[in-house]
A and B are shown apart, each in its own frame.
Chain A
Amino acid sequence: MDIKEIIKPENLVYKRTPLMTDATLSYCPGCGHGTIHRLIMEVVEEMGIQQEIIGIAPVGCAVLAYEFMDVDFTEAAHGRAPAVATGIKRLWPGKFVFTYQGDGDLAAIGTGETIHACNRGENITIFFVNNGIYGMTGGQMAPTTLEGMRSSTTPYGRNSTAMGPPYKITEMIAQLPGTYYVTRQSVHKPGPVRKAKKAIRIALEAQKENKGLSFIEFVSNCNSGWKMTPVDSNIWMEENMFPFYPMGDIKVEGKLVKN
């Protein structure tokens, strides 16, 4: 069968959602940010909520997230996205509000804002991309950098005695009564991508029903920061990140399913 016979509008099974803008993503080749952006926009499209959703962009690699997702956006200062989201959501409880934050943003400089927004049970959704490193500023140690892992500020590997160990903020916030749905996902393979998309849907549906705060951590790669090829970085992530940051739901419908 000729390819031209296949490539016809009636045979279309997958196309990038129009809710992603035409701008070329500013991310490195193979970076999970692009996939996560697209999944969020696919769910927004499927739920038909483009006209009711406002995103909060972080400081970090995703600082320009608003260039790529075709929804209204507010750009927050470093770490402050949950507070910014709180301000919007409190004045517009009927709209959808989400933050999109990296590990330095959410788990270091913005720890206070993260924990208190979770504790208040703000009806927002937090998308947390954990790649174990400060990507945009050049690969420095993040709160999530693994023990022994090299970064530009831990050139001989993270020494937990001197620098403290990596910590799992996702498990921490799952303990707070305000969080409704807490899960950890990845987007490096087709199966995980499909699961991650389901998680995004659950989170935004929960927001629709005012259930409390939903929090999705995506363990993702940073091939530039880790100094690997994109494909190798995904393998390294499976072998090194996943044992410390295990995949799966931590809290479902307000109940802990995993400690």
Chain B
Amino acid sequence: MKELALMKGNEAIAEAAIRAGVDGYFGYPITPQSEVMEYLTLQKPEERTGMVILQAESEIASINMLYGAAGTGKKVMTSSSSPGISLMQEGISYIAGAELPCLVVNVVRGGPGLGTIQPSQADYFQATKGGGHGDYHLIVLAPASVQEMADFVDLAFNLAFKYRNPAMILSDGLIGQMMEKVELPPQKERVTTFDQSWVTTGKTDDRERNIITSLNLDPDRQYEHNLKLQEKYKNMEQDVMFERIACDDADFLLVAYGSSARICQKVVEVARGRGKRIGLLRPQTLFPFPTREIAKLSRRVKAIMSVELSAGQMVEDVRLAVKGKVPVYHYGMMGGKIHSPDDVLHAVEEKFMGGF
């Protein structure tokens, strides 16, 4: 029987983590994601599954606890919001460099700086282009519902372990805070089934010592390591995920993820009601990005608009995919303000419909 619950997105992530058999969570409070750790501690996961929860003294400490813990080959995660994620970037770079699987959740708020505590999608660049120093990428998943907040936890770990790479769930204050019906995943056993050959367990007689490091003083070795990483990022393309909404006959295409995609879904509905053939492509993975799909659609549509809660970040990737074949616009509010379907529709009509 389906197990249904009404919960906040942040709570859904926490519950899904327990059910995914996550071994450890290290976090630090920050609005609008504090419910993740609050929910976890309330649930006594140490009794439910044996999961370890620890409140660190800072985001810097929590990401480094995660780094250490990920080296044990177990499923470990943290969550934070934009300013906290900025603090974690050093650690995330080390984790990517050392090729450790783990999950980082970013419930994005408006910036820059301390910004606001309202929803935003302005951390797209930081999430998808690396974020910290060096050439690296995270696997980035973009949930658009409380259901996906829950579902993407297990998915994130599967991808993280498949590629030995940190994964990020890039949510925002809207999806983190809103309540929806969610079908909870079944409880998984807290066991590690992934490859453990690289893990620091204590050196046994039958192997060389395992070293988790991102340091290669020899530039030739570092170069080789970088080539290997780049190959890995390329391979991730096979796991790209997206949702096509009314794209088959669309003249105009919206591209939007997360909460903005929810708004755009309404835009499509209303526009279709007025006889306008608008479609929506919703990337569920932002890295890997659905470049091919957008390229394919760009051969058929007359124009594309990237709708984001930012000054226009994902639009750059859309443009790279479209390669100038059709006009690509951006629309979106920033700094914690949320565009309404009417706002978007208005922008769409101004840009797309004016010339037709």
Binding site for B on A (CB under 8 A): 49-54, 56-57, 63-64, 66, 70-77, 80, 83-88, 90-92, 95-96, 112-113, 116
In the complex the two chains form, is A72's CB within 8 Å of B200's CB?
yes
Asked, given contacts A77-B90, A87-B24, whether A71 binds B202 with beta carbons under 8 Å apart, the answer is: yes
Contacting residue for A90 out of B52, B57, B61, B70, CB 8 A: B52
In the complex the two chains form, is B68's CB within 8 Å of A83's CB?
yes
7 further A-B contacts with Cβ under 8 Å, apart from A72-B209, A83-B65, are A51-B204, A70-B203, A73-B200, A77-B90, A84-B68, A88-B69, A112-B58
B93 to chain A, nearest CB (A): 9
A contact residues around B69 at 8 Å (CB): 87-88, 90-91
B contact residues around A95 at 8 Å (CB): 201-202
B contact residues around A92 at 8 Å (CB): 72, 201
Q: Does B76 contact A (CB under 8 A)?
A: yes
Quick check: which of B9-17, B211-219, B281-289 contacts chain A, the rest being far away? B211-219
A contact residues around B67 at 8 Å (CB): 74, 76-77, 80, 83-84, 87
Q: List 24 A-B contacts (CB under 8 A).
A: A54-B200, A63-B215, A70-B209, A72-B210, A73-B200, A73-B211, A74-B67, A74-B211, A74-B212, A75-B98, A75-B211, A75-B213, A80-B60, A80-B61, A83-B61, A83-B64, A84-B64, A84-B67, A84-B68, A87-B71, A88-B68, A91-B24, A91-B74, A116-B56
Q: State A159–B211 Cα separation when bound (angstroms).
A: 41
Asked, given contacts A77-B94, A92-B72, whether A86 binds B211 with beta carbons under 8 Å apart, the answer is: no
In chain B, positions 277-318 with a C-beta closer than 8 Å to chain A are: none
Asked, given contacts A75-B213, A86-B68, whether A54 binds B202 with beta carbons under 8 Å apart, the answer is: yes
A contact residues around B90 at 8 Å (CB): 77
Q: State A217–B136 Cα separation when bound (angstroms).
A: 37
In the complex the two chains form, is B61's CB within 8 Å of A66's CB?
no
Contacting residue for A66 out of B58, B68, B98, B211, CB 8 A: B211
A108 to chain B, nearest CB (A): 14
Which residue of B26, B57, B65, B71 has the most chain A CB atoms within 10 A of its CB atom? B65
Q: Does B54 contact A (CB under 8 A)?
A: yes
In chain B, positions 168-212 with a C-beta closer than 8 Å to chain A are: 200-205, 209-212
B contact residues around A72 at 8 Å (CB): 200-203, 209-211
Q: Beta-carbon contacts of B22-62 to A below 8 Å, as 1s and 0s?
A: 01101000000000000000000000000010101110111
Q: State A70–B211 Cα separation when bound (angstroms).
A: 10
A contact residues around B72 at 8 Å (CB): 87-88, 91-92
Q: State A248–B200 Cα separation when bound (angstroms).
A: 33
In the complex the two chains form, is A74's CB within 8 Å of B24's CB?
no
B contact residues around A80 at 8 Å (CB): 60-61, 64, 67, 91
A contact residues around B98 at 8 Å (CB): 75
In the complex the two chains form, is B209's CB within 8 Å of A66's CB?
yes
